């Protein structure tokens, strides 16, 4: 049903960023989904994918991330 969230949609961006920032330590998107759902309040689930996909496409890229302009840099063990 529309506007009904039953879980966190974890794609490559959400998986990469969640691991890069140290939120989870997982090997697959499914493991990341389970780990994030265990630690995030349900009210935030719908926002995770929306916020992290664009961030992963533009800033926190898999190769050559734009750490110099990243607002999460102070909290990131990589940047």
pLDDT digits (tens, 9 = 90+) for 7-62: 999 999 999 999 999 999 999 999 999 999 999 999 999 899 999 999 999 999 99
What kind and span of H or E run contains 69?
none
Contact 10, 30 (CB under 8 A): yes
**Diameter over CA atoms, the chain:** 40
Q: What is this structure's pTM?
A: 0.87
Enter the tokens of residue 70.
């990243």
Q: Is the CATH number of domain 12-75 1.10.1670.10?
A: yes
pLDDT mean across residues, the chain = 92
- Start-to-end CA distance of the chain, whole Å, equals 39
């Amino acid at each position: 049903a529309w506007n009904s969230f039953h879980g966190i949609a974890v794609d490559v961006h959400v998986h990469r960023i969640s691991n890069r920032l140290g939120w989870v330590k997982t090997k697959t998107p499914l493991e990341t989904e389970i780990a994030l759902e265990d630690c995030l309040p349900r009210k935030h689930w719908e926002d995770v994918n929306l916020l992290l996909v664009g961030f992963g496409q533009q800033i926190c890229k898999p190769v050559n991330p734009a750490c110099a302009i990243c607002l999460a840099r102070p909290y990131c063990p990589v940047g």
